[in-house]
Structure 1
Amino acid sequence: MTKRHISLLVGVSAAALVGSGVAAAAPASFARTLLVHPGESIQKAVDSARPGDTVLVLSGTYRQSVRITTPGLTLRGMGRSTVLEPAAKATGDCGKRGNGICVAGTKSKRLMGVTVSRLRLTGYPRAGLVAVGADGLTVRHVTSEKNTVWGFAEERSEHSTYEGDTARDNGDAGLFLANTITAEQGAADSKETLISHNLLVGNRIGVTVRRLRDLTVAANEITGNCAGVFVVGDENKPKAGAVTVRDNRVVQNNKYCAKTERLPFLQGSGIVLTGAEKSEITDNTVAQNSGTSPLSGGIVLYKSFVGATSDNNLISGNALEGNAPADLVDQESAQRGNTFRDNSCAASRPAGLC
């Protein structure tokens, strides 16, 4: 990167410092903005950045992937006009793994305080953005679309915020959050991770929360997927749960998706809990999700294939209409402690839940 592409943002200008008799050298702790123009390498700018710096990517199409390992870095574009696509020949660890942006901490040290905003990520073989070992990650006003697996994915991360993003037409989940993506382990504490005010449309599943605790999914628009929201646990301890799903609009998730090794075919699932405990599903609008899958219905408590039960969950204050085979579906026994209260709905399985 040339000097003309780097702007220093400091609280006091160098000229003012000289005029006052203070040495003009800017402290290293002052944040900078590094500009990236079309045809330049975003990775080079990121590698040049210090903690607290911003890499600002101007409008244009950039056929590359980016790996972030600097704490406190902000990677920001100009909105949907800043587009990242796969390179013709992938380079670097992030690109070779098929991802667009990789926020990469380690098992021994989390990567703190990274922000990614105002970009469009499209067409990657794996995920538009993936975070591993992050703490305090913020992803805001990012569109991730037409990626083969996930729009956004993370594992072993805490205190994340996904806000105002769009995940569209991705092969698996628009947003996929897990303790680990591959290993079978007990649920991890996400420490108040927040998924809010996002648009999730045309994916296999809008939001998947797998083997996590202490997470909120709130005020999202979730439509046109095969399934809206999945909260998934298994037989490992600690159990998945303590998840809040509230104030979302989960409507017409009637796309058909073929079965996989883990799940039967999906179609017409609104909000599904399987193998989760002590979660609250409240004040959502769940309408016109219709299908014949074992997981179809408005709000579904589904007994998992590995025998993990859903226990002591609260389903309350939801407005349900036109879901099939029913607005509320509970496949657990009455002894599991799940509570259905004050929901507006017409039909349930078993009867009497509305």
Structure 2
Amino acid sequence: MTKRHIAHLLCTAALVGSGLGAAPARNGPTVHLVRPGESIQKAVDAARPGDTVLVASGTYHESVEVTTDGLTLRGAGPGTVIQPAEQKAATSCAQAGNGICVTGTKDHRVTDVTVASLTVTGFARSGLMAATTDRLTVRKVTAEANGQWGIAEERSFDSVYRQNTARNNGDAGLFLANAVQTEEGATDAHGAVVERNRLEGNRIGVTVRRLRNLSLTRNDITGNCAGVFVVGDENMPKAGDLTVRENRVTQNNKYCPKTARLPFLQGSGIVLTGAEDTLVTGNMIADNAGTSPLSGGIVLYKSFVGVTSDRNRISGNTLQGNAPADLVNQEDTRQGNTFENNSCRASKPAGLC
């Protein structure tokens, strides 16, 4: 967005919010301007489908819940900062420890919401949490130092995550799942896109859990304990049918202790565990090194309940300096996983490069 465009939106919002005389009839979308010291949630509650809530630079101590179709929540850039309030509001978003929530219901999937150009930081759970959405767009959002996930979604279709930064979050920088609490088969993400994001200093850069039909493209993933996890389990259908393409996955060598489901993590580039029919291609994967069972450049590994990774294609990647090896296949060779045309020096077992 250009400075001229921002100035136009601010001017429009000022006129809308001036309150002079009787309110005119609405002829189209409205811009609601929020300044420091004012409530973002109040503006969101007043907005109608198609409106924009434009939040000026400054720090805002609150959680924000969006349930209106077609709403755009836009800051003025990283200088628009949303942090936790000293006392939690009564909204479910705040009570759950999230910064921004985009929330539908089982009877109404909230659609066409955009969240852009702001920072969410310091929340106990997630900077941004989306649940039961369709065609959500999140772009140029910085999610930093949140307790669990930077940006997360569940039960959502056709999402776009583009040009975001997620750093130093307790678990995944980006976490996409069919359902957070429920054990069930993988769901179709309807072509969701994760593209050109910066993911650094998290436990895992990107986790895709029990989803199908999604692409991870041209992301910069560095300094995490693990770069990318594609995760499935014994539920059917299995996770997979994904594309992991043209990402830069380097030096994910931070140490993270073991959990109930995973061994300690360090030095993992891209890990497929319990996943099928996934294409991993054109990625640059370098200098991911560790001694975890999941360490290595590209790693195929049985899930924590022993489910195999089947018929995955590892093709045309450039790998160097990963340890214990650039390519690691801990699956039975009969599972139909293929390794072809990769530029690498070492593999486990030998012969994959």
Partner Cα distance (2:303, 2:238) in 1: 13
Query: Cα distance, 1:108 vs. partner?
Result: 2.3
**Partner in structure 2 of residue 198 of structure 1:** 197
Deviations 1:133-180 (CA, angstroms, capped at 9, x unpaired) = 000000000000000000000000000000000000000000000000
Partner Cα separation in structure 1 for residue 163 and residue 16 of structure 2: 29
**Counterpart position of 1:223:** 222
What's the CA shift for 1:307? 1.6
TM-score (norm 2): 0.93
Q: Does 1:280 align with 2:276?
A: no
1:327 aligns with 2:326: yes
Counterpart CA distance in 2 for 1:170 and 1:86 is 15
Give the deviation of 1:107 after TM superposition. 1.6
3-state DSSP of counterpart to 2:242: strand
| Counterpart contact for 1:179–1:210, Cα < 8 Å | yes
Q: What code does the residue aligned with 2:275 have?
A: A
Distance 2:143 2:92 in 1: 20
SS at match of 1:142: strand
Q: CA deviation at 1:8?
A: 4.9
- 1:167 counterpart SS class: strand
Partners of 2:141 and 2:341 lie apart in 1 by 36
In 2, the alpha carbon distance for the partners of 1:307 and 1:52 equals 47
Q: Distance in 2 between matches of 1:103 and 1:299?
A: 33
Q: Secondary structure at the match of 2:344?
A: coil
Q: What are the superposed Cα offsets for residues 249-306 of structure 1, whole Å, 9 maximum, x if unpaired?
A: 0000000000011101000000000000000000000000000000000000011121
Residue aligning to 1:265: 264
Distance 2:222 2:165 in 1: 12
| One-letter amino acid matched to 1:116 | V
> Stretches of 4+ moved more than 6 A in 1?
none
DSSP 3-state at the match of 1:87: coil
Q: Which residue of 2 aligns with 1:18?
A: none
Task: Measure, in 2, the Cα distance between the counterparts of 1:7 and 1:163.
Answer: 32
2:20 equivalent in structure 1: none
Deviation of the 1:182 alpha carbon: 1.1
Identify the match of residue 90 of structure 1 among 82, 85, 88.
88
1:301-322 CA deviation, whole Å, 9 max, x = no partner? Answer: 0111212110000000000000
1:295 counterpart = 2:294: yes
Please show how residues 141-220 of structure 1 align to structure 2 within 5 Å. Answer: 141-220=140-219
Counterpart of 2:248 in structure 1 is: 249
Q: Secondary structure at the match of 2:265?
A: coil
Within 5 Å, which residues of 2 pair with 1:42-121? 42-91=40-89, 92-121=91-120
CA distance in 2, matches of 1:25, 1:84: 32
Letter in 1 for 2:83: E
CA shift for structure 1 position 241: 0.3
**For the residues of structure 2 that align with 1:207 and 1:190, how far apart are their CA atoms?**
15
Give the counterpart letter for 1:137 in structure 2: L
Ranges in structure 2 where 5+ consecutive residues have no aligned partner:
1-11, 18-22
Instruction: Give the number of aligned pairs.
Output: 336
Task: Give the fraction of aligned pairs with identical amino acids, expressed as a percent.
Answer: 65
SS in 2 for 1:118: strand
Q: Is the 8 A contact 1:51 1:73 kept in 2?
A: yes
Name the amino acid aligned to 1:225. Answer: N
Matched position secondary structure for 2:257: coil
- 8 Å contact kept, 2:13–2:30: no
**Partner of residue 34, structure 1:** 32
How far residue 6 of structure 1 moved from its aligned partner, in angstroms, is 5.3
